[in-house]
Amino acid sequence: DDVMKSAVVASPLKLYDCCPFSDGASSVILCSEKFAKEHGGDYVKVIGSGRGGSPAALQGREQLTTIPSTKIASEAAYKMAGITAKDVDFAEVHDCFTIAEVVDTEDLGFFEKGKGVQAVREDRTKLNSDISINPSGGLKS
């Protein structure tokens, strides 16, 4: 109710669809498998990575509902790893606005273009669902 009644920022986004300015941090320690085993603790192997670049400004994009660099980077990472988006169990995506999570999950290939909202409504992005999106809670948590 509070979200739906909040002030419009840029239609259709309302105040509570948007992340306030905030600080946060996370870290990853990249090391050899040997080092990880010698020092104990859990570890994961990086089996694929990718990079891409595209305009951040909306006026520089051909489509407002896609971020080309996300598609480019994810496709390269999947290829290097020898997997597809369907093989991914969870993902942490940048969700500064409610629409950002939907755009990211579609660009990452988890859902067909235009089907991301439906996936959220059908609870297909919850923990232990088709693909757990932002199990940490995301930026707006």
Amino acid in the structure at residue 85 = A
**Domain-located, residue 3:** no
Position 81 in a domain: yes
Count of domains observed in the chain: 1
Structural domain containing residue 41: 28-133
pLDDT, one tens digit per residue, over 23-74 is 667 788 899 999 999 998 888 899 999 999 988 777 777 888 899 999 999 9
Cα–chain center distance at 22? 18
Q: Residue 28 burial by CB count (10 A; 0-12/13-18/19+): exposed, middle or buried?
A: exposed
Domain-embedded: residue 4: no
Is-above-0.75 flag for pTM? yes
